[in-house]
Amino acid sequence: MSGTIVKRTPFFKVLIANRGEIALRIMRSARRLGYGVVAVYSDADRDALHVREADQAVRIGEALPAQSYLKIDAIIAAAKASGAGAVHPGYGFLAENEDFAQACRDAGLVFIGPSPEAILAMGNKAGAKEIMQKAGVPCVPGYQGADQSDAAMLVEARKIGFPVMIKAVAGGGGRGMRPVADAAAFPDALRSARSEAQGAFGDPTVILERAIVDPRHIEIQVFGDRHGNAIHLGERDCSVQRRHQKLIEEAPSSAVTPELRARMGAVAVQAVKAIGYEGAGTLEFLLDRAGNFYFMEMNTRLQVEHPVTEAITGLDLVELQLRVAMGEPLGVRQEDIAFSGHAIEVRLCSEDAGHDFMPQSGTMARWQMPDGIRVEHALKSGSEIPPFYDSMIAKVISHGATRDEARGKLISALEQVTAFGVTTNQGFLIDCLRHPVFARGEATTAFIGNNRDALLAPRPDRGSDLALAALLLYVTNPHAPPWQRGRSLAATFPLGLRIDLGHGVQEIEIVRERDGSYLATRNGDRFSFVIDELDQDGIRFHHDGLMEQARFLRDGDRLSILHRGVTLSARDLTLAPPESASAAGGDGKVRAAMNGRVVAVLVKAGDKVAAGQPVMTLEAMKMEHVHTAGVAGTVSSIDVAEGEQVTTGKIVVEIEAAA
């Protein structure tokens, strides 16, 4: 573009149209470059950390994304009111919405991202595939036609051949995506995908693709500027996924050779140059076992996993975004890009891996992150995890000279994470990183599905866990004799405890002996503990000849423990009445399994239902969860309406059991 005058667009304050960890991440780079920062927040985020850390903050609406973070007019008004000259969308929400980028342009605001035209061209999965096909880039066979009728979609799915993948054309993150094994399952999957896409992105349009069996998910990070420069920053391997959402990302990929990296990078750069792309973007590919790669989609924004690219390149991608948006050239050429070592990121999510990764919300009573490693988060002890947004609450990123070094550092860091009060996938992530398939660098998108039983297997030392829980419940009971170092004047009477560690109620007996030790007994197994130190949140003790330590938090009859890198949640049910069949829905009452919003009531009063039949769909943290009948019978009452927000345990459907 020699001889072309490129206009600079200076700004001095940036409004971040997002929340949580990415808002704080953007603030960090913006402040380092001298910009003021403005936050926006919903009613659910009034006390959130990103709000407290900003120079200014503006309320934009109610809790649901459609009433706040997806309200274009409210965000533009917030930018105007705060005096911001630029808007950074982060990722998710409006980050890939061309109408939002256009609204910023029309309001005289700099949109820190690509142009509305580029977002429209590449952010829409159907449009992006057409562009790539014309450019000769290999694409997954599929259908992206205008006819979205149920009948037409089923016909096209049959033409492609099952299994097929339904994908929302707008957005990503696994929302609006459904794998379908056969024609019989197609109608329900199509309805669910459309509903989820409408709720997450405001657009129910979907495309169909042939499902590539057990591929690697490889993405190429690209950058362009308004001077005609474009580069790629190598690949990231994002194959470890659940529900088509990434859990572990790393760079470089063990499946990508230098030659393949050069080919995929050249394709990506050619694509972004063809549309005059500005800013950060990512082209996503499926890599099959034969080394063939197929374009899936382009994300016209910063990615969640951008820190691993930063770690191996030494570049600050948010800084590059800000400089490009200001009108500066990239300032780095392709030949300047050098890769150093290996980086791995995990997404710490508030979800219960043992119960189909069900999202969890509530109060994070104690939150402490490890030192000496990069952690991106926006929480503190006492923070609320609302049910309205994505379940990811933190990213932990390691960097090492080798992949094994990075993996070891990450495991060690995760073992130190203290997250008490809301269930997370901490232990599941550790098990993934330790699994031999992942350790060998052989994980594909089928990794979790193929190894699910091993990854979710009960801990072999469950008896020891139960004994430790009994010890802590005993010594932290306000009515128990106070702990003191050394011998006891007299042995205490044995105390029988009923404890639930998430695998059913277990009975165990504990007693303090004359020598000051504690003995826990269960089914003839004996566990002896000697406490060396005890305070309100930690214990150091001897057990089986080892000195160990654990962190803990007691809240009434509930106990959280971090021991040997695993967080345990225990309930003291000693004084509680036995649980009835109602907990499993055996009383005919279907209860909400989490806080969430009712998006579909699938039955009506008077309907006959079979046990296990879907009766209601609840949306929590951007994902849909089908609730089923616990018994066969007749629906006697529908206790909720579509659109209603419900709390965990609320009765939503009542069924009169068949005689």
Q: Which of 137 and 453 is assigned the larger pLDDT?
A: 453
Sequence-ordered list of residues with C-beta below 8 angstroms from that of 385, at least 6 positions apart, any chain: 350, 360, 361, 362, 363, 364, 379, 393, 422
Neighbours of 10 (CB within 10 A): 9
Rounded Cα distance, 332 and 309, in Å: 15
- Mean pLDDT across the chain: 91
How many CB atoms lie under 10 A from the CB of residue 155? 12
pLDDT reported for residue 490:
55
Q: Is the pLDDT of residue 425 over 50?
A: yes
CA distances from 479 to 7, 277, 528, 555 (A): 73, 67, 22, 15
Q: Which of 136-140, 346-350, 399-403 is predicted least confidently?
A: 136-140
| Longest Cα separation, the chain | 93
Query: What residues act catalytically?
Result: 301
* DSSP code per residue over 289-306: TTS-EEEEEEE-S--TTH
pTM for this prediction: 0.86
Measured from the Cβ of residue 72, the count of other Cβ atoms closer than 10 Å reads 17
pLDDT reported for residue 6 = 61
- Write down the residue that tokens 């504690």 correspond to: 518
Q: Tell the burial category of 3 from Cβ atoms under 10 Å away from its Cβ (0-12, 13-18, 19+).
A: exposed
State mean pLDDT over 433-455. Answer: 97
Reported as type and span, the H/E element at residue 136 is none
Residue bearing the bigger pLDDT, 71 or 125: 71
C-beta neighbour count of 450 within 10 angstroms: 14
Per residue in 283-311, pLDDT (tens digit) is 999 999 889 999 988 999 999 999 999 99
Question: What angle, rounded to 10 degrees, do the helices at 20-32 and 317-326 form?
Answer: 60
Average pLDDT over residues 217-221: 98
pLDDT for 659: 72
In order, the DSSP letters of 2-46 are: TT--------SEEEE---HHHHHHHHHHHHHTT-EEEEEEEGGGT
Q: Where is average pLDDT lowest: 111-120, 370-379, 399-408, 615-624? A: 615-624
Q: Is residue 495 left, alpha or beta, with left meaning phi > 0 and alpha meaning psi from -120 to 50?
A: beta
Instruction: Tell me whether the omega of the peptide bond preceding residue 89 falls within 30 degrees of 0, making it cis.
Output: no
Averaged pLDDT, 253-280: 93
Q: How far apart are CA 90 and CA 645, in angstroms?
A: 27
Express each pLDDT in 148-184 by its tens digit.
999 999 999 999 999 999 999 886 667 888 999 999 9
| CA atoms of 517 and 214, how far apart (whole Å) | 53
Residue with tokens 């930018």: 79
pLDDT of residue 619: 84
Higher pLDDT, 204 or 174: 204
Helix spans in 278-416 (H): 306-313, 317-326, 403-415
CA angle 458, 462, 465 (to 5 degrees): 130
**Residue 653, pLDDT above cutoff 70:** yes
418 vs 276 pLDDT, higher one? 418
Question: Has residue 578 got a pLDDT over 70?
Answer: no
Answer whether the bond into residue 258 is a cis peptide, omega within 30°.
no
pLDDT attached to residue 336:
95
pLDDT per position as a tens digit, 512-532: 888 889 999 998 899 999 999
Backbone φ and ψ of 572, nearest 5°: -90, 105
